[in-house]
Amino acid sequence: MKPASRPVTLRSARFRAEREADWEKLEKILKRAEGGGPGRLTTTEMMELPRLYRAAISSLSVARATSLDKNLEVYLEALCARAYFFVYGSRTTLWERLSRFFLEDWPNAVQESGRAMLFAALCLFGGAAIAFVLFIQDPETFWLFRAGGFDMRTPEASTSYLRSTLYRDPGDVDINTMLTSFASQLFTHNAGIAILAFALGIAFGIPTVALLVFNGLFIGSFYALFWSRGLGDELTGWLFIHGVTELWAVVMAGAAGFVIATSVAFPGDRTRLAAARHAGHKATTLIMGAIVMLFVAALLEGFGRETINSDLIRYLIAGGTLVLWSLYFYAPRGGRR
């Protein structure tokens, strides 16, 4: 006995027919958006995107509950995921991002990482102090920490030569020297060290300690060499006109490494993964800040030091940068915090 012939209609097929146009629209907008920059989308399309995305998400939920068309479900899932990635892609404008970084994120991260900063500073200046003391006892130790093979500023050099390296004959200075010095300082040496100090934090911070101490040793023995020739005051001006900023940046980069290291070594209540992630945000902020400071330091070194030969002005600039950075990082801020 055959049942009466019924019309073939499917609620899920109707559902699809009703919504299909919206899905296709979303797909088209996404394709265009990913093909070019967001500038290619019209304002209407930008406004419609979130609505279409939410509609697709709700379609997916309905389809999961009521439709057995596998292709439809797979399609909606892919469409939603793609739209989701776009809607929740990085979105803030560069300007917003930058102003938030300088006004909030960076100073906050510095204030919150006091202990890591202190420890990094201890490594760097401790290394310097050790090398200094060693040199005073035995100048031969200088050779232990010497970095470059071509640097003539060694215990074998005459005092007058050492003095001459601290000042520039105004006739020698031109924009080329300044630019070359600026670029080579920043882009080959310092930023590399800073990034390394940060990235090595993942290995429980041990390589970061080594990197900081070694840099300290180098500075310390260098300082002792000039100091032993009665050039201590002059070197201080030469070094700290940019060194306040530069060493601060190196300490900050090291601190970023330690922030990561502590989170990995002592994750506390969180899993190691979650702890590393949480610390990662703070550490990246610190490292970005360190790179900004290194940029300033390279400017001071390349242009300031090459043109300013007066010890007094060098000291003033060094002191000025110290005060300004301290105020920027640690001065109490109005408003929330």
Partner 1 sequence: MSEARASPADHARRTARARGPFARELETPEGTSLTIRIASAGERSGAFLIDFIILIVMMYLGSWLFRLIFQGAGDAERIGYALFLLYIFVVRNFYFILFESGRRAATPGKRLLGTRVAMRDGTRLTANAVLARNLVREVEVFLPVYFFGALIASRTMGGGETAGIVAVLGVVWTGVFLLFPLFNRDRLRLGDLIAGTWVVHNPKPVLAAEMVQERADDPFAFTPAELNAYGIHELQVLEDILRQPQSDIRAAVAARIRKKIGRKHVEGESDEAFLRGYYAALRRHLEGGLALGKAKRHKFDG
Minimum CB distance to partner 1 smaller for 3 or for 332: 3
Q: Does 118 engage in binding with partner 1 (CB under 8 A)?
A: no
Cα gap 318→108, rounded to integer Å: 24
For 264, how many CA atoms within 13 A lie in the half-sphere containing its CB? 16
Nearest alpha carbon to residue 329 among 258, 6, 337: 337
| Residue 203 Cβ vs partner 1, minimum distance, rounded to whole Å | 8
> Which of these segments, 14-22, 218-226, 239-247, 325-333, binds partner 1 (CB under 8 A)?
14-22
Contact by Cβ (8 Å): 100, 47: no
163-222 binders of partner 1 (CB under 8 A): 174-177, 179-180, 182-184, 186-188, 191, 195-196, 198-200, 202
Look up residue 331 and give its DSSP letter.
S
Minimum CB distance to partner 1 smaller for 85 or for 328: 85
Cα gap 1→330, rounded to integer Å: 89
Cα gap 8→92, rounded to integer Å: 50
60-89 binders of partner 1 (CB under 8 A): 60-61, 64-72, 75-82, 84-86, 88-89
| Residue 178 Cβ vs partner 1, minimum distance, rounded to whole Å | 9
| Residue 75 Cβ vs partner 1, minimum distance, rounded to whole Å | 4
> Which of these segments, 90-98, 158-166, 234-242, 323-331, binds partner 1 (CB under 8 A)?
90-98
Cβ atoms < 10 Å from Cβ of 318: 21
Residues that contact partner 1, how many (by CB under 8 A): 83
| Residue 190 Cβ vs partner 1, minimum distance, rounded to whole Å | 11
Q: Does 120 engage in binding with partner 1 (CB under 8 A)?
A: no
Cα gap 192→135, rounded to integer Å: 28
- Tokens linked to 138: 């035995």
Q: Does 333 engage in binding with partner 1 (CB under 8 A)?
A: no
DSSP codes, 226-262: HHHTT-HHHHHHHHHHHHHHHHHHHHHHHHHHHHHHH
| Residue 257 Cβ vs partner 1, minimum distance, rounded to whole Å | 10
215-234 binders of partner 1 (CB under 8 A): none
| Residue 66 Cβ vs partner 1, minimum distance, rounded to whole Å | 6
Cα gap 312→15, rounded to integer Å: 81
26-65 binders of partner 1 (CB under 8 A): 27, 33-34, 37-38, 54, 57, 60-61, 64-65
CA torsion sign, 155 to 159 to 160 to 165?
Answer: positive
| Residue 74 Cβ vs partner 1, minimum distance, rounded to whole Å | 8
Minimum CB distance to partner 1 smaller for 106 or for 135: 106
* Per-residue x/- track, 232-261, partner 1 (CB under 8 A): ----------------------------x-
Nearest alpha carbon to residue 102 among 114, 110, 92: 110
DSSP codes, 140-204: GGHHHH---SS---STTS-HHHHHHHHS--GGG--HHHHHHHHHHIIIIIIHHHHHHHHHGGGTT
* Per-residue x/- track, 262-291, partner 1 (CB under 8 A): -----------x--xx-xxx-xxx-xx---
| Residue 332 Cβ vs partner 1, minimum distance, rounded to whole Å | 25
| Residue 329 Cβ vs partner 1, minimum distance, rounded to whole Å | 19
Contact by Cβ (8 Å): 30, 38: no
